[in-house]
């Protein structure tokens, strides 16, 4: 078979696909097995203080998930998608970024937002239904939590590419900026994800995509979402480096993500990292996970709890003892106490804020809805005043 197209000189026939880029896929292929460091000789090469800090942050992260889940049961949060079991992914994602870098989280990544410095009460504002976002994205360099799946991925590419263009135009303000987008396995089934990878690959944008493959998109197992060998293999089709890592191995996560971020920062292009992990809790407080997975499956993954694995390793290496465990547990309880205190006196949400920060220039529909809300509030206020006057009589 021969192919003729407009790029072929008259009278000549080029070989198939000669008009497109051709690259050796071998350097892009992901690891044949998930990268693991715990239980291997490589673990001895890790900095001692880094290992202890990872443990401390995992313990605090687990307590944060527990406290947020409790607040939901108490009705103080409308919803909370827990990341219990995925803490190693989110903690390391926040740790490998520099101050100038940007984080683009999904709705399940509240822990990563808190770990990067946002107050828990502000990070959870969206889950309370009080505002579109409770923190200033520019102050923290964290995009708002994204509820629509994978829409944050193209945003990450756009910001990273724009920063590079700005740096080229004004070298004095140049920042070696990396954007890290957190996506779930369900998000990889969305068109936004594929568009983001394609743009990132073509532009060579300094972006890292971290896919937390916890096995399910709500109740849909991965086998019903993708027939790819791994989700990391999807990187190859876009000319991006793919990495596969054990998402419950905190040391492996830190190692692979650090390398991916520096790969992107050095101008060598984007990276797609697939972390194999598991969501130990239900999708949200509104989900009954027993309808689509067995207790035996959950117990098997609970035995690979990232916190348990790291604590076991640290104890065996003589880097952690009972006193250290107790001190870290106390710090976690202090965090839980702080979170509860922040929720004791919640501010009254401003209904008018529903219409701000949606569009730079409000659409006609938004203006109409705002006017309708104002009319209802005026009517309610008039009715309340009339009732008070009747009672006064």
Q: Which residues are annotated as catalytic? A: 279, 283, 292
In angstroms, the CA 339 to CA 201 distance is 41
Q: Residues near 217 by Cβ (< 8 Å), separated by ≥ 6? A: 184, 185, 186, 187, 189, 225
Q: 81 near 283, Cβ under 8 Å?
A: yes
281 to each of 159, 161, 254, how far by Cα in Å? 33, 36, 23
Bridge partner list, 243:
273
Q: 282 near 289, Cβ under 8 Å?
A: yes
Among 247, 305, 301, 237, CA closest to 273? 247
Signed CA dihedral, 103, 109, 115, 118: sign only: positive
Question: Pairing between strand 216-217 and 220-221?
Answer: antiparallel
Q: 177 near 217, Cβ under 8 Å?
A: no
In angstroms, the CA 92 to CA 95 distance is 5
Residue that has been written with the tokens 């309808």 in this structure:
291
In angstroms, the CA 241 to CA 26 distance is 10
In angstroms, the CA 35 to CA 299 distance is 23
Residue 269, both tokens: 């292009």
């Amino acid at each position: 078979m021969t192919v003729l197209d407009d790029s072929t000189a008259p009278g000549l026939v080029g070989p198939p696909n000669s008009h497109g880029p051709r690259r050796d896929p071998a350097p892009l292929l992901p690891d044949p097995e998930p990268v693991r460091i715990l239980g291997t000789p490589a673990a001895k090469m890790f900095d001692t203080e880094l290992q202890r800090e990872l443990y401390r942050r995992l313990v605090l992260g687990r307590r944060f998930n527990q406290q947020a889940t409790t607040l939901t049961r108490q009705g103080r949060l409308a919803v909370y998608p827990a990341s219990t079991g995925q803490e190693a992914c989110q903690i390391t994602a926040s740790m490998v970024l520099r101050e100038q870098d940007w984080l683009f989280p999904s709705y399940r990544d509240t822990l990563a937002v808190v770990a990067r410095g946002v107050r828990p009460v502000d990070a959870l504002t969206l889950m309370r239904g009080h505002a579109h976002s409770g923190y200033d994205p520019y102050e923290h360099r964290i995009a708002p939590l994204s509820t629509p799946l994978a829409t944050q991925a193209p945003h990450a590419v756009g910001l990273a590419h724009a920063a590079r263009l700005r740096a080229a135009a004004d070298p004095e303000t140049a920042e070696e900026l990396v954007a890290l987008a957190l996506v779930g396995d369900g998000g990889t089934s969305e068109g936004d994800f594929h568009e983001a990878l394609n743009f990132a690959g073509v532009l060579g944008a300094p972006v890292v995509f971290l896919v937390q493959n916890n096995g399910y998109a709500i109740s849909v197992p991965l086998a019903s979402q993708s027939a790819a060998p791994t989700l990391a293999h999807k990187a190859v089709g876009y000319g991006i480096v793919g990495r596969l890592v054990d998402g419950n191995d905190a040391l492996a996560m830190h190692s692979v993500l650090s390398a991916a971020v520096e790969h992107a920062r050095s101008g060598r292009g984007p990276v797609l990292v697939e972390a194999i992990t598991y969501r130990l809790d239900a999708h949200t407080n509104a989900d009954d996970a027993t309808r689509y997975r067995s207790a035996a499956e959950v117990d098997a993954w609970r035995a690979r709890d990232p916190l348990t694995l790291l604590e076991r390793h640290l104890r065996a290496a003589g880097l952690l003892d009972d006193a250290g465990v107790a001190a870290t547990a106390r710090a976690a309880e202090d965090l839980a106490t702080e979170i509860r205190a922040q929720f004791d006196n919640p501010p009254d949400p401003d209904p008018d804020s529903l219409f701000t920060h949606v569009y730079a220039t409000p659409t006609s529909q938004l203006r109409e809805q705002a006017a309708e809300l104002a009319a209802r509030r005026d009517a309610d206020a008039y009715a309340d005043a009339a009732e008070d006057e009747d009672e006064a009589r």
